[in-house]
Amino acid sequence: MNAKRFVPCLLMIAMLGGGCLISCGNTSSKDSSDKAATPAQQADDDFRSFLAKFTSSAAYQYKHLKFPMKSPITLMTDDGNTEKTFPFTKEKWPLLDGETLKEERITQEEGGVYVSKFVVNNPTHKEFEAGYEDSEIDLRVVFDLIEGSWYVTDCYSAWYSFDLPIADLRETILQVQEENKAFEKIYP
C-alpha cells in the first residue's frame, strides 16, 4: 500500500518539477527584450507616468513647476509702444489637465485645424505646443528632466497673450485662479 502511494507522489513531483524546469528555463528572446527596455524607452515610460500624475493632481503639478518660469509674461502698455514684463509665478499658473496636453489634430467645422503635439521630444527635454495651424500658438509648455524628476521650466499661455491689456491682468489672474479651484476639486 505504501508503494502504491509513493509512485503517484513521485510522478506528481516529477511532473511539477519538470514543468517548472521547462517553463522557468524556456524564455524566448522576445520575452527577454520586452523586460530589458532601452534607456530611451525607460525615459519615455517615466515621462508618460509623470504626465499622467501631473495632469491628474493639482498638488503634484504644483510640486513639478519651477517658478518663476524662464520666460516672463510680456504685455504691451496702454500707449502701444512699450512692453512691460511680469514674472510668471505660481499665482498666474493655469493648472493643466490631460485634455489640454493631449496630442491630436482636430479639423473644425469652420475650416481651421487645431494641432497639439510635442514639437521637441528628447529624453531630457520636451516641448508641447497647441494652437491653430498657420497661426500663433495658444500654449507652449517646456518640460525638463532635472536630477531624475520632470519639471515644467517654461510656459506660454494664451491667458497672458501679448494683446492682453495690462489693466486686465489682475482680472485674468483671478479667472485663472477660479478655474484652478475647480480643477483642484476634481483633481486634488
**Domain containing 31: what range?**
2-35
CATH code, 149: 3.10.450.410
Q: Considering the chain, what is the average pLDDT of its residues?
A: 84
Are 113 and 27 within one domain? no
Are 166 and 145 within one domain? yes
- At 89-137, the pLDDT tens digits run 999 999 999 999 999 999 999 889 999 999 999 999 999 999 999 899 9
Instruction: Compute CA distances 26 → 3, 17, 21, whole Å.
Output: 34, 14, 8
Are 31 and 45 within one domain? no
The pairs formed by 175-178 with CB atoms below 8 angstroms and a separation of 24 or more are: 176/92, 176/93, 176/94, 177/91
pLDDT surpassing 90 at residue 181: yes
DSSP letter assigned to residue 140: E
- At 70-100, the pLDDT tens digits run 999 999 988 888 899 999 999 999 999 999 9
Q: What is the pLDDT of residue 158?
A: 96
Q: What is the pLDDT of residue 53?
A: 98
Are 20 and 54 within one domain? no
**Per residue, what are the HEC states of 13-44?**
HHHHHHHHHHHHHCCCHHHHHHHCCCHHHHHH
Are 95 and 118 within one domain? yes
Are 125 and 65 within one domain? yes
Q: How many domains does the chain have?
A: 2
- At 56-76, the pLDDT tens digits run 999 999 999 999 999 999 999
The whole-angstrom separation of Cα 37 and Cα 132 is: 36
Q: What is the pLDDT of residue 36?
A: 63
Are 73 and 10 within one domain? no
